[in-house]
Amino acid sequence: MARRTTDLQPCPGATMADLDTEHLEAYREELGRRRPGSPLLRRPAEELLLSIGAAVRERGRVQPTLTGILFFGQDPQRFYPSLTVTLLHFAGTSTARARPDDPLYLDNREFRGVLPVVIDAVRAAIFDKLSKRAVVNGFVRHDVAEYPEVAYREAIVNAVAHRDYELDGAFIQVRLFADRMEVQSPGGLGGHLTVDNLAYEQYTRNPHIMTLLEHHGYVERRGLGIDQMIRAMADAGLEPPVFENRGSSFWVTLQGQAPAQPLPDLVKLGLNDRQIRAVTYLRRHGRVTNREYQAEFGVSERTALYDLQGLVDAGLALPVSSGRGRYYILRD
């Protein structure tokens, strides 16, 4: 009898009552949208769970597997406390403090729950933290983040799909620095994979987890994720991803642009407190209109116009368009 893969191992201490029917029904709906003719859609709940590797028959009873708990569990971390994703956001380019009084992290979060919820929450948190520039096509404004979403989404999904789930106490970690993003996955490359053949060879350590990621739409076509990451980074004018197999862990590094040049002393430029805070706002949001300035700082339209023109006169901001459509961006 073939050995069960790790993701098909029964979850110790778990029963079918530990699964959430709402997660299962959400999976059915997603599967119905993506694969409307799938025979899985017609199967009763228990038979469906057995078919997709979310449950197994063990000593005469049906028991949830690792896969079942991770996708449909009411509280997956009750059984697997370390199967989480952490996000560490550093102020500089290293893990060291620039000054003794500086905080170690700008942010330190742990994401828990079923895998689809965790993946979406991590992706959204990363996008929120990335610096952005405004790109206007016609009358439509788009916020373009410093890293392409395809690249970091693939890195996160691959970490979830291919991590070594036998490593107890290890968790996936995303580290965001001023000049790069790192995604660390517990366990080195599996099977015959190496860093050199990663882009064209395939191996799935956790086939049932991978299948459910496909059914949820996180994996469109197997074997293309690495190519998509490389192409997305190139299209964004960035270096290709760096892959490192460190034996006990696998690392993906997305190298960003060099950190922005420090701003001049804003106080010496004669800016008031609102204008200084507006520079930070512009760095975070990419642009600001007069109306947005009024709402953000609680001032009149005339005061907002005066402040914004002051930023232009100081050589810090640049007006774009005219009339009611005018907005302001930071100068390069």
pLDDT along the chain (332 residues), means of 10: 85 96 95 93 95 94 97 97 95 75 81 97 92 62 81 96 92 92 94 85 91 91 79 90 93 80 69 88 84 93 94 88 79 70
| Pair 282, 165 in one domain | no
pLDDT of residue 156: 97
Residues 141 and 202 both lie in one domain? yes
Q: Structural domain tally of the chain? A: 3
Q: Is 263 inside any structural domain? A: no
Alpha carbon 31 to its chain centroid, in Å, reads 23
| Residue pair 319/326 in contact by the 8 Å Cβ criterion | yes
Write the DSSP assignment of 83-130 as a string of letters: --EEEEE-SSSSSS-SSTTS-S-SEEEEE-SSHHHHHHHHHHHHHHHS
Assess whether 169 and 281 both reside in one domain: no
Q: For residue 265, tell me if it sits in a domain.
A: no
Distances 171 to 60, 81, 84, 201 between C-alpha atoms, Å: 33, 9, 6, 25
CATH number of the domain bearing residue 298: 1.10.10.10
Residue 267: inside a domain: no
Pick the closest to residue 147 from 175, 120, 126, 117 (CA basis).
Answer: 126
Domain interval for residue 211 = 85-255
Identify the pLDDT of residue 197: 87
pTM over 0.85: no
Same domain for 72 and 105? Answer: no
pLDDT of residue 205: 92
**Residue 112 included in any domain:** yes
Domain boundary among 58, 79, 100: 79
Domain match, 281 and 151 both:
no
Q: Strand 249-255 to strand 242-245: parallel, antiparallel, or no bridges (unpaired)?
A: antiparallel
Domain limit, last residue, from 60, 79, 98 = 79
* pLDDT of the residue at 99: 64
Does residue 42 sit in the same domain as residue 153?
A: no
How many CB atoms neighbour CB 308 within 10 A? 21
**Statement to judge: residues 100 and 241 lie in one domain:** yes
- Same domain, yes or no, for 320 and 201? no
The per-residue pLDDT for 285 is 78
My answer on whether 111 and 217 are in the same domain is yes
Is the domain of 31 the same as that of 160?
no
Do residues 116 and 167 share a domain? yes
Inter-CA distances, 153 with 183, 257, 288, Å: 10, 19, 28
Domain boundary among 227, 255, 283: 255
Q: Note whether residue 1 is domain-resident.
A: no
CA distance 146 to 129: 10
Do 301 and 326 belong together in one domain?
yes
Long-range contacts of 73-78 (CB under 8 A, 24+ apart): 73/14, 73/18, 73/19, 73/20, 73/23, 73/114, 74/18, 74/19, 74/20, 75/18, 76/112, 76/113, 76/114, 77/112, 77/113, 78/18
Q: What size, in residues, is the chain?
A: 332
Residue 242 is predicted with a pLDDT of 95
- Residue 118: which CATH number? 3.30.565.60
Nearest to 149 by CA among 238, 261, 34, 245: 238
